[in-house]
Structure 1
């Protein structure tokens, strides 16, 4: 039980102080920073721990190797499984030559030649390993998929006890001549090689672990050869499953039936145990007799009975996979998928053994269990499932079947409210695994669907501690790599949700890649055209809305993005949408929000202002039934009018209006009339990262309409969001108001004799909400007396405008009439 807890809860076990120190030193080494005051030789254990930390950081490269000099480090083990360092690099030769190694893992990547198509082992031994390593090396891992040359050099390793050649395209003629030199071997892995005759292995009589996974033996007496290895404790004669997770009868008929040979050899001994120490036997993927379920059970019974110390037997993907197998009087751990518990055990077992087909098989079984019986899982089991699936996906990142099945499991674990049964640690693991899969396989549509279906979860996307930047960037990359409509809809929805949650610096870093903005504008154009063509194209409406929301957030406080949006024909497309979707308020509001951001950029204002049609469209948006609510209780006409007014207010800052068909006075009067009709809203309709957009207008504009728009916006967010942190910064709108500049500007405006009465009223309302948090009185001292109107005494004595008998605000005395515009 303790071992299981450690296996399943390993992410929760804290690192030791030694490991933490080693990680810190490793980071400094990888950064090229000084890591020791003096070149004091480090002991073997600490040296190896630092190297391991470099491996975990994926920082074991040529530059780092050059710093691991033999006068400081006493290194006896290296693991290059995650590295691709060219063999001819001087650092490789120098560093390894200076080490007396006892363990060397080249792994799947290996130290290849520059072509990465072959590995010359003889050249590597001659150039990189010293005499002490040849004599003392005990562990050598050469697994990999490329052709390997110079295997004859294995005879030089006099103390070798562990050897792996798994997945290498070698045949028995390459390996057989070497067995007589490897008599000390205790562990041999030749899984998934091209070896078809294992007769030469009879020389290896000290073998305790023999892994023959997916080795298709076609000649020789395999049973007799195995019988010579009386010390075997672990024997793997499993077969890889096909893509549909079935054992292939046809291919097995052409090879020796290993389970039958194994049993026949035992039965011929007249009760004497052939392998008295055999503890683990893997038969997964084998047909087990090809004669029906009863014959398979009988075969397995005989094998178990003949091996009294057998404790672990793998039958995953065999005819017995779904059967509850037990043998009276024996305590067996059966690796199969006959129960929920066994499925999880099988997943953990084969993930650690690097058996991709069995891992994906177990993941499929877990998927069906979650799909059909999720409610039967206890919370602890769900946590264990999340850990196991994420671990399998991490270790099998290069196996598409593992990623497909794993992402499908994560969908069921994170679906809707189910995610609330997982702790935040598990949720973050699930998100990271999904993003890893999406980044690794951008052009696999079904995998992308699995990932984004899983991540399209409101609870998940609002969880604190999420990496919103990575999520958004990965979603954008997937969107651009896939033209699948469902992937586009989900990714754009996620982008629209997480962009406002990113820090400003992250948002600016993200949109520094202009290709994202161009692509989003292209989506705007395509889906708006599709909606017009098909009238009610629900998927296109959905995609368009989320695209507009994403662009609204990405252009916020980002002038460079706004410029790129304009250069990508975004402004033209935006006004075209406004013109054609004037009855769809939700779409119009989002477009106007984007145009607000664009209009804040000085160099772009004139491009809008000089277009007569654009101004006419914006002025039309100021009109509406402002008291009407939709079914959700929102004042859509107010929202549309507010954002249209924002664009116009920013345009009024332009100095040269000679190219515009409308005068500033006409636009200002229309703004004043519209804004005074807006009711105070009970629900927030907008959020701001700062009050800078208002400050720029208030300090530079003397137009009543522009001032009213700014003050109405400040008042709105204060009334609805004054207690809520803004944009995950922890800063409230009241905190933003405390900045001395804005209150001083407001006080000066209120004190000035020519300020519009409705402007004064809005300032007073802002003061009423914020007077407990903002020291308005002390700020009066900074206002020049010449600026004050004769009747101002103190801010505390400001009176509200007159209220009529019905309780509604009476119209200000200098109320302006409506300006008619001509759209032709």
Structure 2
């Protein structure tokens, strides 16, 4: 029965979540607008209070909560809020006052709200509702400007945190909180938990005013703290109700002299009597470098009820006493449990996340089992520190370790999808950091991830292409081209066309193919580049049309098509009417450079040379053959070397006596072109590949077109003149040899 109840509860939660997501997507249709532009629900059923809280949370997490949309909670009898989450959402002071302050709030998270909403705005707004003064128990204002002047006086009436007398938990980390405001806070009669980390507080004496209620104090990295070790220890010793104390430090950011007094206080606390902080069960002193293993041992032995100890970046987490306490959780670097505990506990602290990730990287270098739990922790670190290069540098390396080879296959698809999204974010955010880019590229270079995991393939392709612009490392280049070749096959027709307009990527891929071809190398890089080009040129007319101002690219694209057209089994893939008509227009365009027209003619000659394989309209083939012949007769021989061939074998089918004159003419003209530029090399190739014999047959055939005969005779004369010259030179050498003898 308990299992059935749990299952039904999970189903209800899932259905509720889907419904709220649909409401978020349909807000425009469900709402009207007030005069100030804010939204108002046209009609709504009375929702359970928890559902209203979840709707606000869903709007916030989906990034649609702002001054306009928060209006649905204003004067709405159907939506009653108890827990309001507006973290990181652009909500102004006025919108906050109108939409949220009238509710009977028990909890409010307004951390890191951009746009000028201050702690004073929030406190005065909440205090304006007499119900909120006593109902609000938890308040999170991390990262906000406190605005002390507005807090103290408002129209002659004192308004401060103390006016919210129901508060039990208050978070003012990363604020400009001052000693004066802290004194006001510490008069709260029920305050149990206080976080003033990274604030401007210099004295902690005010904590003595709430020593009987305070259960948790977090004072991480108080850079302006100005108290002697003895005075600090005295304050701590009076906090008899404290169960959790966090006096950790950022060991990266603080100078040696700034940390000394705090470290001395910690040393005295560890070595002191258990009568100091007698209720303590949780202590975090991570980042304190001057403590010793002996002090830690003494403290753990004296505190039998200890459940947590933060020792990351202290050098003492390998103390043997820690492993003997099974119920004690520790953050440190001595083992996997300590590192993972650090990643869980320090989600919001960049200094500790980067430290823990370094140790996690070392732990996962040779990992051979899938660890989705670790990947979740790495993902959380990246998501919580989107601007930290230090975090992303190590986190992306950890992602590669945790997803390499077959490890990714065992990971949840949703987890991998979110992880890849963060990798793309890293590539976009840190475009000039080579190691981050390399880490992301290596992690992406996985068939399983590229083929089976959903993510923004178009964004990924553009980012990897941009990476190629400034990197020539052969290994990484191979990976990048491999990734691109797979990604472009996954794109829509519109995305492929858009990507194909990128002049650089076409140049880069064609250059790779050309480089490999010239070297006679057929490796994986060349195959991947050809695959990418194949997919990018799938909509070839659109791609070619975008390169009218780039004749070098047009020439290379058409050269690639020419090569493809030579392969009989691939010719069917080029039988697209729009494609051939566009290539025909290039052939006929006298304004284009002759190299473009040459390769256009070669592609058309190959495709029309096999009537049995022609699948399009016969009139189109006849028109192509007619225009091919006419265009070639207008060409002039080029002086510079435009093309080179390793074999004339692909020309043999085109030189058969039964071929149409346009096909024959292009083949003969092509042979003539290269023979003139390098006669000694190509004349021997002609003999070897049997082309000389075919040209003689064409020149002598009674049905051959006169233009073909004339061109064939020209080639044969060039070869004959070269051979005659060689014979004369050989004869002269023989005569000279006899004379010398």
TM-score by length of 2: 0.70
- Secondary structure of the residue aligned to 1:62 is coil
- Alpha carbons of structure 1 residues 597 and 362: separation in structure 2 relative to 1, 3 Å: farther
Partner of 1:727: none
- Alpha carbons of structure 1 residues 542 and 442: separation in structure 2 relative to 1, 3 Å: farther
Contact 1:525-1:573 at 8 Å conserved across structures: no
| Offset of residue 259 of structure 1 | 1.2
Partner of 1:107: 111
Separation in 1, partners of 2:458, 2:543: 16
| Offset of residue 403 of structure 1 | 1.9
Pick the structure with greater CA Rg. 2
Partner of 1:283: 285
Q: 2:226 aligns with which of 207, 218, 224?
A: 218
- Secondary structure of the residue aligned to 1:140 is strand
Separation in 1, partners of 2:16, 2:174: 36
- Alpha carbons of structure 1 residues 623 and 78: separation in structure 2 relative to 1, 3 Å: same
| Offset of residue 235 of structure 1 | 1.0
Partner of 1:416: 405
C-alpha distance after superposition, 1:774-794 (max 9, x if no partner): xxxxxxxxxxxxxxxxxxxxx
Contact 2:119-2:146 at 8 Å conserved across structures: no
Q: 2:632 aligns with which of 640, 662, 684?
A: 662
Contact 2:565-2:603 at 8 Å conserved across structures: no
| Offset of residue 66 of structure 1 | 1.8
| Offset of residue 189 of structure 1 | 0.8
Partner of 1:734: none
C-alpha distance after superposition, 1:39-67 (max 9, x if no partner): 44333222112112222322212232122
- Secondary structure of the residue aligned to 2:322 is coil
Partner of 2:66: 61
| Offset of residue 228 of structure 1 | 2.0
Contact 2:195-2:217 at 8 Å conserved across structures: yes
Separation in 1, partners of 2:463, 2:41: 42
- Alpha carbons of structure 1 residues 224 and 613: separation in structure 2 relative to 1, 3 Å: closer
- Secondary structure of the residue aligned to 1:313 is strand
| Offset of residue 647 of structure 1 | 13
C-alpha distance after superposition, 1:386-411 (max 9, x if no partner): 23322332333333222222211111
Name stretches of at least 5 consecutive residues in structure 1 with no aligned partner. 1-5, 7-11, 114-118, 290-295, 625-637, 665-669, 678-701, 706-815
Partner of 1:139: 138
- Alpha carbons of structure 1 residues 422 and 100: separation in structure 2 relative to 1, 3 Å: closer
Separation in 1, partners of 2:529, 2:577: 16
Partner of 2:83: 77
Paired residues, number: 619
Partner of 2:442: 453
- Secondary structure of the residue aligned to 2:104 is coil
* Root-mean-square deviation over aligned CA pairs: 4.9
- Alpha carbons of structure 1 residues 236 and 518: separation in structure 2 relative to 1, 3 Å: same
Separation in 2, partners of 1:605, 1:147: 71
C-alpha distance after superposition, 1:572-628 (max 9, x if no partner): 34169669xx9x999999x9999988961755641234465445446667999xxxx
Partner of 2:454: 466
After TM superposition, the structure 1 = structure 2 runs for residues 547-566 of structure 1, keeping only pairs within 5 Å, are 549-557=531-539, 559-566=541-548
Partner of 2:244: 234
| Offset of residue 328 of structure 1 | 5.5
Partner of 1:692: none
Contact 1:79-1:104 at 8 Å conserved across structures: yes
C-alpha distance after superposition, 1:332-372 (max 9, x if no partner): 22222222333333323333xx2222222222212111214
Partner of 1:202: 208
| Offset of residue 663 of structure 1 | 8.1
- Is 1:520 paired with 2:522? no
- Is 1:475 paired with 2:461? yes
Contact 1:301-1:327 at 8 Å conserved across structures: no
Contact 1:26-1:51 at 8 Å conserved across structures: no
- Is 1:316 paired with 2:312? yes
| Offset of residue 648 of structure 1 | 14
- Alpha carbons of structure 1 residues 420 and 140: separation in structure 2 relative to 1, 3 Å: closer
Separation in 2, partners of 1:452, 1:225: 52
- Secondary structure of the residue aligned to 1:401 is helix
C-alpha distance after superposition, 1:298-350 (max 9, x if no partner): 21122223333211111111111344443767742222222233333332333
Q: 1:396 aligns with which of 380, 385, 393?
A: 385
- Alpha carbons of structure 1 residues 520 and 548: separation in structure 2 relative to 1, 3 Å: farther
- Alpha carbons of structure 1 residues 331 and 155: separation in structure 2 relative to 1, 3 Å: closer
| Offset of residue 164 of structure 1 | 1.2
Q: 1:274 aligns with which of 273, 276, 294?
A: 276
Contact 1:559-1:598 at 8 Å conserved across structures: no
- Is 1:433 paired with 2:439? no
- Secondary structure of the residue aligned to 1:413 is helix
- Alpha carbons of structure 1 residues 155 and 511: separation in structure 2 relative to 1, 3 Å: farther
| Offset of residue 104 of structure 1 | 1.6
